[in-house]
């Protein structure tokens, strides 16, 4: 009997693999991602299966239902900022801007909104100072959502500011990603809880209730909303990695990471608020609402802004569509800065085609990122792009963490989304699209300044060693999974 069971084990294993492969095919991923998972399961049967359990499944039906309930609950109390498709009066009367805005509106992102003020924050220290100022000025509520919040100097400083406001009766809600903020412990959180701060975890990891299968879906968003009037978003996490002042205090010789963030006033803050409340409901099953969450603003302002969200709960993949549309629409110049450059086939083709059309395409990536695998995968794309005329610059040290795109100095994109499959398909992300020539020109100048800390990539040709080429090519095979 035992021999009979042992003989059946290989057959049972093959049947299980076949069922998983059928499931992968039915999920309609990209052919490259599907093939990568199939090969991993076939050639690394045990390890590959474990990795698939952790990172592969996309069983998000219940998650989508919960987001749907959150949106329904919120729209009962306030007008949904996603619902506007018509381009409002006063928006720039130019085909390029209107086409991009209409694309985003039609995939559920709402119409562009007028902003009273937009401030570009290009260092972590400037960002933290601005956030702390907004926190201390808040009178009604403070909402924060972060992928990474470290219990270091800056993390403690902002935590203590939240504690002070909570003790004075301000509502404080803090939503943290369970993996990105895994260094946070009970000792760090207890003073917040004692002060009345509400804390929630996005997709907590655990075997109970099969939560392990959602390990791959993280909130990578960085959102701060104070009194529904001032909002922050971009790519700066709460960490001493971004603070040159704090790195000096801890005798760290390395420079702070290069990054970009936005401070926003006006109606676009409503969209950030709405996204936060959706995520809060998703994490807690509570949909808090008060009129003060959505204060009234003037309908006219100096800037136009569209807040765009994406995540695995929505098949529109709005940020991926935005990147593709802006690249293929660029006429003169395209500037792209990203710490993780692992483009899919469509975006690679778009960049190559733009360069061949005569567009001045510049891509800025880290010389050495914080992920060796992602850095190797990125370099596997360089030669093909450079051959088509794309100019690639490798920044640093220090580490480049900014996620930025400027098109023809007319439209700029700042946010949390990297130029890779994980940000475009797996993570919950948020970005700001700026329809503002002055701000776009300012960010283009900032990009040019960053080139002083970068070196231009030159095709190595025969100078590239076999091990280097093999390593980069192997990392590229895993790019759909990164």
Cβ partners under 8 Å of residue 211, min gap 6: 203, 204, 205
φ/ψ (deg, to 5) at 233: -155, 160
Cβ partners under 8 Å of residue 168, min gap 6: none
408 in active site = yes
Q: Output the six-digit token pair for 43.
A: 């050639």
Cβ partners under 8 Å of residue 475, min gap 6: 373, 374, 376, 377, 380
Q: Output the six-digit token pair for 118.
A: 């937009």
Nearest residue to 339 (alpha-carbon basis) of 454, 449, 201: 454
DSSP state letters, 374-431: HHHHHHHHHHHHHHHT-EEEEE-SS-B---EEEETTTEEEEES--EEHIIIIISBEEE
Query: Among 403, 420, 436, 450, which one carries the catalytic annotation?
Result: 403
Tell me which DSSP letter residue 87 carries: P
SS3 360: strand
Query: Among 165, 267, 401, 420, which one carries the catalytic annotation?
Result: 401
Longest dimension (CA), the chain: 80
> 303-310 and 341-342: which strand pairing?
unpaired
Query: Among 82, 143, 227, 420, which one carries the catalytic annotation?
Result: 227
403 in active site = yes
152 in active site = no
Query: Among 240, 259, 408, 420, which one carries the catalytic annotation?
Result: 408
Give the whole-angstrom CA distance, residue 163 versus residue 232. Answer: 20
Whether 355 and 416 have beta carbons less than 8 Å apart is answered as no
What is the number of other CB atoms lying within 10 angstroms of the CB of residue 106? 12
367 in active site = no
φ/ψ (deg, to 5) at 363: -120, 125
261 in active site = no
φ/ψ (deg, to 5) at 121: -110, 115
Query: Among 141, 143, 165, 220, which one carries the catalytic annotation?
Result: 220
240 in active site = no
> 411-415 and 419-420: which strand pairing?
unpaired
Helix (H) or strand (E) holding 19, with range, is: helix 2-26
Active site residues: 220, 222, 227, 401, 403, 408
């Amino acid at each position: 009997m035992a021999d009979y069971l042992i003989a059946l084990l290989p057959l049972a294993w093959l049947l299980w693999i076949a069922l998983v492969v059928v499931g992968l095919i039915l999920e309609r991923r990209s052919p490259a991602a599907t093939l990568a998972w199939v090969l991993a399961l076939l050639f690394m049967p045990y390890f590959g299966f474990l990795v698939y359990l952790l990172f592969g499944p996309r069983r998000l039906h219940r998650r989508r239902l919960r987001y749907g309930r959150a949106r329904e609950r919120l729209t009962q109390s306030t007008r949904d900022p996603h619902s506007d498709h018509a381009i409002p009066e006063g928006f720039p009367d130019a085909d390029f801007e209107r086409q991009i805005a209409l694309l985003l509106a039609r995939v559920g992102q709402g119409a562009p909104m007028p902003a009273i003020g937009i401030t570009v924050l290009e260092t972590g220290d400037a960002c933290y100072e601005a956030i702390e100022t907004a926190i201390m000025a808040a009178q009604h509520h403070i909402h924060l959502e972060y992928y990474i919040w470290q219990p270091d100097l800056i993390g403690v400083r902002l935590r203590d500011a939240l504690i002070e406001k909570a003790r004075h009766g301000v509502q404080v809600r803090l939503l943290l990603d369970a993996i990105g903020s895994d260094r946070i412990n009970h000792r760090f959180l207890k003073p917040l809880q004692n002060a009345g701060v509400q804390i929630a975890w996005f997709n907590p990891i655990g075997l109970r209730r099969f939560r392990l299968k959602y390990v791959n879906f993280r909130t990578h968003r960085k959102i701060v909303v104070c009194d529904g009037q001032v909002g922050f978003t971009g790519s700066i996490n709460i960490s001493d990695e971004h603070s040159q002042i704090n790195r000096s205090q801890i005798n760290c010789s390395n420079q702070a990471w290069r990054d970009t963030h936005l401070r926003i006033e006006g109606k676009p803050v409503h969209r950030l608020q709405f996204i936060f409340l959706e995520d809060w409901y998703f994490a807690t099953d509570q949909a808090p609402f008060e009129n003060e969450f959505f204060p009234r603003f003037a309908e006219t302002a100096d800037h136009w802004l569209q807040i765009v969200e994406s995540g695995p709960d929505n098949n529109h993949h709005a940020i991926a569509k935005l990147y593709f549309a802006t690249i293929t629409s660029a006429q003169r110049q395209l500037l792209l800065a990203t710490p993780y450059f692992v483009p899919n086939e469509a975006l690679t083709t778009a960049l190559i085609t733009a360069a061949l059309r005569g567009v001045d395409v510049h891509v800025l990536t880290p010389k050495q990122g914080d992920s060796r695998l992602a850095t190797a995968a990125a370099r596997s794309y360089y030669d093909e792009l450079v051959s088509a005329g794309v100019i690639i610059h490798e920044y640093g040290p220090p580490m480049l963490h900014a996620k930025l795109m400027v098109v023809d100095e007319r439209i700029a994109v700042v946010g949390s989304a990297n130029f890779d499959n994980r940000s475009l398909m797996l993570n919950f992300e948020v970005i700001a699209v700026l329809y503002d020539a002055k701000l776009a020109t300012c960010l283009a100048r900032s990009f040019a300044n960053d080139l002083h800390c970068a070196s231009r990539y030159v095709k190595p040709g025969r100078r590239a060693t076999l091990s280097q080429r093999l390593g980069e090519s192997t990392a590229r095979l895993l790019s759909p999974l990164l």
